[in-house]
Amino acid sequence: MLTLLIAAGSFLGFIVAYHTYGRWLGTKVFGLDEAAEVPSQQLRDDVDYVPTRKQVIFGHHFTSIAGTGPIVGPAIAVFWGWLPALLWVVFGSIFIGAVHDFGALVVSLRNRGQTVGEIAGRMIAPRAKILFLLVLFFALTVVLAIFGLVIASIFKLYPESVLSVWIAMPVAVAIGFWVFRFGGGLLGPSLIALGILYGAIYLGTLYPVTLPELWGNPIVIWTAILFVYCFLASVLPVWVLLQPRDYINSHQLIVALSLLVGGMFVAGLTGEADLTGSAPAIAEKAPIGAPPIWPFLFITIACGAVSGFHCLVSSGTSSKQVANERDAQYVAYGAMLLEGALAVIVILACCAGVGMGKFTRQENGSYVAAVDDAGEQLAGQAAWIARYNPESSWSEFGLGAKVGAFVEGGANFLSALGLPLQLSIAIIAVLVACFAATTLDTATRLQRYVVQELAADFGIKPLMNKYIATAFAVALALMLALMRGPALADGTLRPHGTGGLYLWPLFGATNQLLAGLALMVTVFYLYRRNKPIWFALVPMLVMIVMPLWALSWQIFNPETGWWPKGNYLLLSIGVTALLLQFWMIVEAVIAWPRARGILEEALPPLPPAGTGDLVSGRSC
């Protein structure tokens, strides 16, 4: 019953927060104006700047920010206990994450859809723009490499998920042309597409797709295919693939999440899901080599509570598609709270769900309940400890184990509804892969913007071309993803396709520092207009102090630190990120005394309006 009460209480809290705190931010602080002209109208080109219905842009925004972050992060953090993870997700998403996303979107909307990196140059100091863009470049390179490997690993571990993920692409293109080019309706085609995708999930259980090995790892081929797709998705107009694909995926994901919630409620009511009987509220012992809960809880769970990557989506793609400034609360604040709800579901699935019984995969691809030596099905604490053994090594809890914990627990919830286990596994695996895929191609488009902005600042004309910039971004991420990871303790070489995961420790701290810097831009925007800043200033300080603390621990800790251990690759990138962000903080401190009530330099006037139809709303 506790599982049910926690879920219901968390969801109710998010709803209340949206209609109270979120509304106060929108009306009293940001003063959202329905009559304000937005970038999608000012600069409409039907490629990147496209006025979009709020339901569609919500789907794009939510699926882009969600990714695998709110799945992988909580799946690790429950090692410290489900209670700290739950509290950080609920209160972090309401008071920090949603504020961060909302602020980044509004500030970008009022600066012609510029990214937070560009805006920082005018809000804080000219040098801040370059510093911010360099931080974004490093962070997005790691994001692309990691998420490419995540999806490739899911395809390898769960080949039944492949068909549904890929069939979504041509279906999305067809709907994009139907709606945008031919003015067709959206509801009917989207429901047909949803049926096709769930039919493909069922077919995937019958005909799983596998690939041969290359360089000792099939992940290599999948990663290369994914980055070819990313190049195409990034350079195509958003209405061709990005918008309709994300809109369809949002329906598919909402159905999957609804099934998860329904199964969780049934399992909670019947007593099958027992949170306290499965996992500790606060763990007495963490795995060997685990970092301390302070500050690493706030770094491990990023998406689901607060994530710097979200400011890139808010200011990089969403701000160029929002058709009405009043939609910003719905898109940014609302999507972040929905992601918080997803993280709550993941926490419960990785604890109460895993505790319902442990399943193992057979050689023929089917799943059966695991049993102990006495022939009894594992359940409760035995099942949870089999997955989260406190006597194990922190470093051994790899990507497969992180994703597998949620897939296993989520499938247990779905089985409470009477769904076959094999189908349940496929539905959850597709859920994870679709979230990661939407983040991957959005991140590629965002990295293209960053590369072009840096190229313009440094005068590198070839990289100002969108095709060359995209190719550069994709090639760099692919090279990083396919490199070998460090050798094992016995000297055995890891296979190609493990190098990106080797850099994963860098992502947590730099991503959260990015959130602190984005909140800094919002604070300066409000401070210059004599608006209240406390609601963003406190989260800003938290998201600067915690990541700096964590990154310093990773670098200097005498037992496992990158410096004492001679891990020079992580050390050099980590120190570079640390110095860049220290430098930006110094720039902010210098600019602060003369910023209050003084508006930043205005943007240059727009050229004469073109001939495009700015307000017809023909797009998705």
Residues 249, 233: Cα–Cα separation, whole Å: 15
According to the model, what pLDDT value does residue 516 have? 93
Residue written as token pair 């801040």: 128
According to the model, what pLDDT value does residue 617 have? 34
Tell me the per-residue pLDDT of 349-375, one tens digit each, with 9 for 90 and over: 999 998 887 565 555 555 556 656 555
Four-CA torsion 565, 570, 576, 581, nearest 10 degrees:
-100
Phi, psi of 52 (to 5 degrees): -135, 140
Coil/strand/helix, residue 114: coil
Tell me the per-residue pLDDT of 101-142, one tens digit each, with 9 for 90 and over: 999 999 999 999 998 988 999 999 888 888 888 888 888 888
According to the model, what pLDDT value does residue 497 have? 57
| pTM of the entire predicted model | 0.89
Burial of 492 (0-12, 13-18, 19+ CB in 10 A): exposed
According to the model, what pLDDT value does residue 378 have? 65
Angle between helices 504-527 and 534-556 (to 10 degrees): 150
Residues 447, 467: Cα–Cα separation, whole Å: 12
Residue 615 pLDDT grade (very low, low, confident, very high; cuts 50, 70, 90)? very low
Residue 620: closest CA among 189, 67, 35: 189
Residue 620 pLDDT grade (very low, low, confident, very high; cuts 50, 70, 90)? very low
Coil/strand/helix, residue 496: strand
444 in Cβ contact with 233 (< 8 Å): yes
| Average pLDDT across the chain, whole number | 86
Residues 554, 570: Cα–Cα separation, whole Å: 9
Residue 500: closest CA among 488, 483, 512: 483
Does pLDDT of 61 surpass 70?
yes
Residue 384: closest CA among 415, 358, 348: 358
Residue 382 pLDDT grade (very low, low, confident, very high; cuts 50, 70, 90)? confident
DSSP string across 541-564: HHHHHHHHHHHHHHHH-TTT-TTT
Residues 11, 93: Cα–Cα separation, whole Å: 12
Number of H helices, E strands in the chain: 26, 2
Residues 405, 157: Cα–Cα separation, whole Å: 13
What is the average pLDDT across 587-599? 93
344 in Cβ contact with 86 (< 8 Å): yes
Strand-pairing partners, residue 410, are none
Instruction: Give the helix/strand (H/E) hosting 196.
Output: helix 187-206
Residue 111 structure tokens: 């600066």
Phi, psi of 246 (to 5 degrees): -70, -35
According to the model, what pLDDT value does residue 485 have? 61
75 in Cβ contact with 303 (< 8 Å): no
Does pLDDT of 528 surpass 80?
yes
605 DSSP 8-state letter: P
The pLDDT > 70 percentage for the chain reads 89
Amino acid identity for residue 138 in this structure: F
Residue 86 pLDDT grade (very low, low, confident, very high; cuts 50, 70, 90)? very high
Residue written as token pair 């505790």: 355
Tell me the per-residue pLDDT of 478-499, one tens digit each, with 9 for 90 and over: 888 887 666 555 555 566 556 6
Four-CA torsion 321, 16, 6, 431, nearest 10 degrees:
-10
What is the average pLDDT across 238-263? 84
Q: Which is higher by pLDDT, 522 or 358?
A: 522
Q: What residue segments make up the domains of the chain, in order of their start?
A: 2-594
Amino acid identity for residue 143 in this structure: V
Tell me the per-residue pLDDT of 169-219, one tens digit each, with 9 for 90 and over: 898 889 888 887 777 777 788 888 889 988 999 998 888 888 876 655 778
Q: Count CA atoms closer than 13 A to 178's CA, side-chain side.
A: 15
Residues 297, 290: Cα–Cα separation, whole Å: 11
Residues 560, 553: Cα–Cα separation, whole Å: 9
309 in Cβ contact with 35 (< 8 Å): no
Strand-pairing partners, residue 214, are 217
Q: Count CA atoms closer than 13 A to 586's CA, side-chain side.
A: 8
Tell me the per-residue pLDDT of 15-52, one tens digit each, with 9 for 90 and over: 999 999 999 999 999 999 999 999 999 999 988 899 98
219 in Cβ contact with 171 (< 8 Å): no
Q: Could you tell me whether strands 359-361 and 367-369 are parallel, antiparallel, or unpaired per DSSP bridges? A: antiparallel
DSSP string across 364-415: TS-EEE-B-TTSPBP-HHHHHHHHS-TTSBGGG--HHHHHHHHHHHHHHHHH
CA 292 to chain centre: 24
Q: Count CA atoms closer than 13 A to 390's CA, side-chain side.
A: 13
590 in Cβ contact with 523 (< 8 Å): no
CATH number of 2-594: 1.20.1740.10
422 in Cβ contact with 367 (< 8 Å): yes
According to the model, what pLDDT value does residue 618 have? 32
According to the model, what pLDDT value does residue 616 have? 31
Residue 446 pLDDT grade (very low, low, confident, very high; cuts 50, 70, 90)? confident
The pLDDT > 90 percentage for the chain reads 42
According to the model, what pLDDT value does residue 568 have? 82
Strand-pairing partners, residue 360, are 368
According to the model, what pLDDT value does residue 548 have? 92
Tell me the per-residue pLDDT of 276-285, one tens digit each, with 9 for 90 and over: 888 999 998 8
According to the model, what pLDDT value does residue 220 have? 84
Residues 158, 574: Cα–Cα separation, whole Å: 33
Does pLDDT of 583 surpass 50?
yes
Four-CA torsion 612, 616, 617, 620, nearest 10 degrees:
-70
